[in-house]
């Protein structure tokens, strides 16, 4: 496993970081608790020391699973990344959407990053995770109802108290990052990025490179699409958010699979799966610090970790990019 220092901090993350959204079950059609714990442990055994979670993932369930999985690991050997600013128990703030929990009960999701709310969220996360500090504390989404200064003054206080080591953001524009950065030195911006979703290259990547802010790429496999395991007509389990995504239309699946068929020979030469090849390509892109890769079981977690071992030359990268240009030039 390769490790990278995040931005201008001394926080060292595994370049393949465990993404813990799916193991929370919510919006992924459920998840098996035992398999989820084993996935995290297996990843750690293969060098995946960094885990990214959030309270909203399963309404606390993901954080609890992470806490259980790392219970017997020395705390300074693992990096916990979690978030704040998405509440399901507070009818206040920027209403995001209606959803259902795993029992099918309706819930309202709110973006809210007021000072007192952040302090409470931090305490709740520490309890669920079974730790006394969080390595990287990130705002989950911009909150239009709360000034950025207020939110990050609260995070700064948590840093002073030793409950948080570093501050990060998610889904922030360059201008929003600049405003937050006036209050507390940002370590990172977590944003969606994949071979078929490269919008951040226009503004976010240049800004983060200039300011020495790390980029955590989430959905690098485009929520499974780039594994090559999907075919037209695929039916998702009830409650799986991917059923409504434009990336999973029959047309886009066909287009993606045509591209994946082109890079399959390269994966074969590297003795790698398509998913491993895609993950390694991701972490080699300018500005990208780590790739967040989810896993529902130990086998998937091991496969993700092994992606770090692949050696891609400049010629290999150029070959992949040529096929991307061929199939997604208008994306």
How far is 80 from 135, CA to CA, in rounded Å?
5
Mean pLDDT of 275-279: 97
166 is catalytic: no
Categorize the per-residue pLDDT at 251 as very low, low, confident or very high, splitting at 50, 70 and 90. confident
What proportion of the chain, given as a percentage, has pLDDT over 90? 75
Rounded to 10 degrees, the C-alpha dihedral 240/243/248/250 comes to: 140
What proportion of the chain, given as a percentage, has pLDDT over 70? 90
Please state the domain extents for the chain: 3-225+273-312
pLDDT in tens, 298-316: 999 999 999 999 999 999 9
Tell me the sheet residues that pair with 52.
19, 81
What lies within 8 Å, CB to CB, of 22 at 6+ separation is: 28, 31, 294, 295, 296
**pLDDT given at position 90:** 67
**pLDDT given at position 92:** 66
- Rg (Cα) of the chain, in Å, rounded? 19
Mean pLDDT of 219-224: 90
**pLDDT given at position 288:** 97
Mean pLDDT of 153-180: 97
pLDDT in tens, 63-108: 999 999 999 999 999 999 999 999 887 666 666 666 666 666 777 8
Mean pLDDT for the chain overall: 91
How far is 312 from 280, CA to CA, in rounded Å?
8
**pLDDT given at position 331:** 46
Mean pLDDT of 9-13: 97
CB 191 within 8 A of CB 168: no
Strand positions, DSSP E, the chain: 3-5, 12-14, 16-19, 50-52, 79-84, 86-87, 94-100, 106-111, 134-139, 164-170, 186-192, 214-218, 288-294
pLDDT tops 60 at residue 327:
yes
3-state secondary structure of 87: strand
Which of 4, 86, 29, 7 has its CA nearest to residue 296?
29
pLDDT in tens, 14-42: 999 999 988 875 554 556 789 989 999 99
Catalytic residue among 57, 110, 137, 218: 57
- Least trusted range by pLDDT, from 54-68, 125-139, 149-163: 54-68
CA end-to-end span of the chain: 32
How far is 97 from 302, CA to CA, in rounded Å?
34
**pLDDT given at position 230:** 77
CB 16 within 8 A of CB 1: yes
Q: Does domain 3-225+273-312 have CATH number 3.20.20.100?
A: yes
pLDDT in tens, 258-273: 999 999 999 999 999 9
Which of 190, 235, 243 has its CA nearest to residue 20?
190
Backbone angles phi, psi at 239, to 5 degrees: 90, 0
**pLDDT given at position 33:** 87
């Amino acid at each position: 496993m390769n490790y990278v220092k995040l931005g201008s901090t001394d926080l060292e993350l595994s370049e393949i970081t465990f993404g813990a959204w799916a193991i929370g079950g919510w919006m992924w059609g459920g998840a098996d608790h035992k398999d989820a714990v084993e996935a995290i442990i297996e990843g750690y055994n293969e060098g995946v020391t960094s885990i990214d979670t959030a309270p909203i993932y399963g309404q606390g369930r993901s954080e609890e699973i992470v806490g259980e999985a790392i219970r017997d690991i020395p705390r300074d050997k693992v990096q916990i990344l979690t978030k704040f600013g998405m509440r399901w128990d507070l009818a206040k703030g920027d209403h995001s959407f209606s959803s259902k929990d795993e029992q099918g009960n309706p819930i309202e999701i709110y973006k809210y990053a007021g000072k007192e709310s952040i302090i409470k969220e931090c305490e709740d996360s520490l309890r669920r995770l079974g730790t006394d500090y969080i390595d990287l504390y990130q705002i989950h989404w911009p909150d239009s109802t709360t000034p950025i200064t207020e939110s990050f003054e609260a995070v700064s206080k948590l840093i002073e108290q030793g409950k948080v080591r570093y501050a990060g953001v998610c889904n922030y524009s360059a201008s929003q990052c600049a405003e937050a950065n006036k209050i507390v030195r940002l370590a990172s911006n977590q944003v969606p990025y994949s071979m078929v979703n490269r919008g951040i290259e226009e503004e976010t990547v240049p800004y983060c490179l200039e300011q020495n802010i790390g980029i955590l790429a989430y959905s690098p496999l485009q929520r499974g699409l780039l594994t090559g395991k999907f075919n037209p007509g695929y039916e998702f389990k009830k409650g799986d958010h991917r059923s409504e995504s434009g990336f999973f239309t029959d047309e886009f699946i066909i287009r993606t699979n045509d591209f994946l068929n082109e890079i399959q020979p390269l994966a074969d030469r590297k003795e790698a799966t398509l998913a491993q090849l895609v993950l390694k390509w991701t972490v080699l892109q300018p500005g990208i610090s780590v790739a967040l890769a989810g896993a529902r079981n130990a086998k998937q977690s091991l496969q993700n970790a092994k992606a770090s071992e692949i050696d891609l030359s400049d010629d290999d990268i150029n070959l992949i990019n040529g096929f991307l240009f061929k199939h997604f030039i208008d994306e």
